[in-house]
A and B are shown apart, each in its own frame.
Chain A
Amino acid sequence: MCTYLTEKVAISGSAKGASGWFRVTEGSVYFDHPVHAPYGHTLNIDFLAPEQGPSARVAIELNAESARALMKAIEAVLESAPPGLE
């Protein structure tokens, strides 16, 4: 099914796309049909810089298990980072 559901989040950082590094300001997260990954539905993340146009985008498609594992890894790394570095 097409879920249509999209979570948007403001982000600050950089991503490396086909044309090299660029600053990103928006993230879209959605669980919906993938374009490339061989699954029915995937957890999709778009790292975007809208002011640079639609091709300024780094896209990820992960199956649900991978996405949950990634979330845990992100949390674990942030928790273990030395204090005062953020």
Chain B
Amino acid sequence: MYDAVLSETVTITGQGGDAIEAYSARPLSPGPVGGVVVLHHLPGYDRQTKEFTRSLAVGGFNAVMPNLYSREAPGADPDDAMAAARAQGAIPIPDERIVGEVAGAIAYLNGLSNANGKVGVIGHCSGGRQSFLAAVSLPLDAAVDCYGGFVVGEPPAGHPLQGWEPIVNRAPELPCPLLGLFGSEDVQPGQAHVAELEAALKAAGKEYKFRTYEGANHGFMQADSARYHSVSAVDAWAEILAWFGRYLAA
């Protein structure tokens, strides 16, 4: 069985036509295979998220992760890049920019010679919210929200996200099925937030599947974090690969 995978840093075209750094991982099979855009968590374009991206390729998908701090700190260590972005007021990243980066990543994936034209999106933490945002903004075929906070609910006074349009209101615009993966111990999103998102999807007649993992907290899929919850992460991976396998097939 030929199971070679190529992973490497590439340059893709992001929002506004800007050249941005991205991490690409893809199976070297003739395919055709589906593509997945990976949106990294707030701490950055880091080792564990690159490993996550490679795992999607091992799972049979072309994957690309834009470096969302590419403009603020090109070539920097991921934690230095995140710190520079914070200091420059670029966190949270504007929604318009996220949509532009994902659009560029979709174009990159569809340009690969073994692409089947189907593309999904996945993100963790702030990336989970961004994954939902991308899904309601672009013609995606599947979306996965891993514990994205502030998809629902009003951010508290003074919070940087206060005043931003609540993206849950755009649930009727979702063009694709949504998989949501959450931890029972998480507070943002907490179980009330998850229920609110579920209600919005039901009201809009959207296809979705939610899993809440008992004993798991925010960040339970982050392999380098104290919050990694192995039993939940292993099951979550199975859900992710099944979801993309089902909805990104040719």
Contact = CB atoms under 8 A, between A and B. Distances in A.
A50 B88 CA distance: 9
Contacts of A48: 83-84, 87
B73 A54 contact: yes
Contact of B41 (A2, A5, A54, A59): A2
B87 A2 contact: no
Given A1-B188, A5-B160, A40-B226, A33 B219 contact: yes
Interface stretch (B18-26, B54-62, B74-82): B74-82
Contacts of A8: 87
A39 to B, nearest CB: 6
Interface in B23-66: 41-44, 46
A40 B217 contact: yes
A35 B43 contact: yes
- Chief secondary structure at chain A's binding surface: loop
A57 B91 CA distance: 18
A2 B161 CA distance: 11
Given A28-B83, A46-B83, A48-B83, A2 B125 contact: yes
A1 B199 CA distance: 22
Contacts of A46: 83, 86-87
Nearest to B128: A2
B42 A32 contact: yes
A55 B80 contact: yes
Nearest to A37: B226
Contacts of A2: 41-42, 125-126, 149, 188
Contact of B76 (A6, A35, A39, A53): A53
A5 B162 CA distance: 11
A46 B217 CA distance: 26
A5 B72 CA distance: 18
- Can you list the 10 inter-chain pairs with the closest CB atoms, starting with the nearest? A1-B188, A54-B76, A54-B84, A54-B73, A54-B80, A38-B226, A2-B42, A35-B79, A46-B83, A4-B160
20 contacts: A1-B149, A1-B186, A1-B187, A4-B91, A4-B160, A5-B159, A6-B86, A28-B87, A30-B86, A32-B42, A40-B219, A48-B84, A54-B72, A54-B73, A54-B76, A55-B76, A55-B80, A57-B80, A57-B83, A59-B83
Interface of B: 41-44, 46, 72-73, 76-77, 79-84, 86-88, 91-92, 125-126, 149, 158-161, 186-188, 217-219, 225-227
Interface of A: 1-2, 4-6, 8, 26, 28, 30, 32-33, 35, 38-40, 46, 48, 50, 53-55, 57, 59
